[in-house]
Structure 1
Amino acid sequence: MGWKNKLLVSILTVCTFSVQASVKVSLHQDLEALVINNKNVGFTIFGDNEFTLENGQQQIVVRVSKLIIKQGEKEKFKSEPVIVTFNANDADLVLSPTRTFIRREEIKGFDKNPVLVATKDGEQFQIEQSILERGVGITRDYAAELKAQNELSNGAEIAVAAVATTTTKQDVAKVAVSPVKMSQDLFAKASVAEKEQFTNWAFKNRKMITSELNGEGKILPMLEYWYEKASTDQKAELLTWILAQ
């Protein structure tokens, strides 16, 4: 084989590898991308429904966004944003909502808890999905919210890893999502003023959340979030712990 043919083969091999070593994701027409490659997706008139990611584990944030009919008039519908996590190599994936609708009365909770499905070559492909919790601020920064939620989840995973190997899976799950543990960690990092503000608010809302904390900074909003996630017994456990400090 001459040197020219060898060079051509080498170039074709590199090009083929470059094309294959990526994951192409196509979104259903009712889906809107919010975060790709850890960056907010800017507004476009027609939207971006196809993009390419590197092989391996990836996270994107999308939501259902479409026109629906309400009392004979068209209005814009937007669901809660969904974090989609998956691990893929050299694949073409299609991401779609599990339901389609055109009228407001057909939503039936899908706005608050949208469910998505991914397919590869026509077969269902495994993904993990969760709602992206709203951060602090009037306008949303989806990429920053994703980073904060991942950091919080990583902290929970570290806590789980520290549990003895004899602990049951059910017990590990409780540790991973314990509002009491997360609140205690945050409370320990709070300033004296923040501790006082949260304690007063928490006692007033120990049976039922009837008012907002309206806390500034990063710690108080997160304390409010985890306190709202806590059950009545967990609230009592946390307040007892606070009194003992």
Structure 2
Amino acid sequence: MKKSCLALVTGLLISSTAFADSLLSFQTEIVPQVVNNKAVDNGIFTDIDQIKIAAGSNQIGVTVGQIVFEDAKRRKFDSSLMLMTFKADDEDSYQLSYKKMRTMEEANKFDKSPEFTLTDGSGEAIDFELVVLPKSGFQGFNDYEKQVVSYNKLVNSGTTSATAVAAVSAAPTTDGTEVSEGIKAQFSNLSRDEQQQFMQWAMQNLK
């Protein structure tokens, strides 16, 4: 009887750890805003600059807030929301970092074309997809969770693409068919700023 109970307890312990969460740590200036369509203020924090993520595909929305120099004065730079998708393994740890900027000019370039480094517990680089979601309204009052949900609805797949162009090109129309080649061509002919403005408008006007 004792052996049976011991075996049962051991089995429960093994099953409870088989699907243990992974941990994602952030460089101090990186602020996690949304994890898998949920805002980070809902209790998923495990520690400062660290969150739990589930094994499998994860979608993480982050912003970067850093002091930079502009006209010899210190200014606060707050980035757009940057949406990252990658796969995590059980019980592994991950670290997200970036190269700090010195000037507002460098920060603005980063905001348009960000570069992050994602590594696992062994220091190996992890592949990820990244898309920048355009700012809307006052940065301090953004509803990041709503922004991510709207974006995922726009691409209609729950998975981000590498660029906004690919995301819009892949988005289906309301009748379930893909966007026409004419619309894709018109979108690709827009400048990057115009594409970002269109993305912002599209997310705010989804039906």
TM-score interval, smaller chain: 0.5 to 0.7
- How large is the RMSD of aligned CA atoms in angstroms? 3.8
Q: Which residues of structure 1 form unaligned runs of 5+? A: 164-171, 182-208, 213-219, 226-245
Cα offset, 1:96, TM superposition: 1.4
Q: Which residue of 1 aligns with 2:38?
A: 39
1:235 is matched with which residue? none
User: Which residue identity is paired with 2:36?
Assistant: N
Q: Structure 1 residues 96, 16: closer, same or farther in 2, change over 3 A? A: same
Helix, strand or coil for the counterpart of 2:125?
strand
Distance 1:61 1:149 in 2: 11
* TM-aligned CA distance change 1:176 to 1:124, over 3 Å: farther
AA matched with 1:23:
S
* Cα deviation 1:124-148 (Å, max 9, x = unaligned): 101000001345x554211111111
* Percent identity of paired positions between Structure 1 and Structure 2: 24
1:198-213 matches, cutoff 5 A: none
- How does the TM-score come out when normalised to structure 2? 0.65
Partner of 1:185: none
Q: TM-score, normalised by structure 1?
A: 0.57
Aligned residues: 173
Specify which structure has the bigger relative contact order, considering alpha-carbon pairs within 8 angstroms and separated by 6 or more residues.
2
CA gap of 1:176–1:140, structure 2 versus 1, over 3 A, is farther
The question of whether the paired residues in 1 share the 8 Å contact of 2:19 and 2:55 is answered with: no
- Which residue number in structure 2 is paired with residue 204 of structure 1? none
Per-residue deviation, 1:7: 3.6
Q: CA deviation at 1:116?
A: 1.5
Structure 2: unaligned runs, 5 residues or longer: 42-46, 158-168, 188-193
Output the amino acid matched with 1:147.
V
Contact 1:95 1:116 in 2 (8 A): yes
Alpha-carbon distance in 1 for matches of 2:149, 2:156: 10
Q: Which has the higher strand share?
A: 2
Please state how far the C-alpha of 1:2 moved relative to its aligned partner: 2.1
The structure that has the greater radius of gyration is 1
Aligned to 1:51: 51
2:24 alignment partner in structure 1: 25
8 A Cα contact 1:79 1:114, kept in partner = no
Compute the displacement of 1:224 (Å): 10
The residue number in structure 1 matching 2:79 is: 79
Q: Of Structure 1 and Structure 2, which has the larger fraction of its residues in helix?
A: 1
Q: Which runs of 4+ in 1 moved over 4 A?
A: 158-163, 174-177
Equivalent residue of 1:144, what SS? Answer: helix
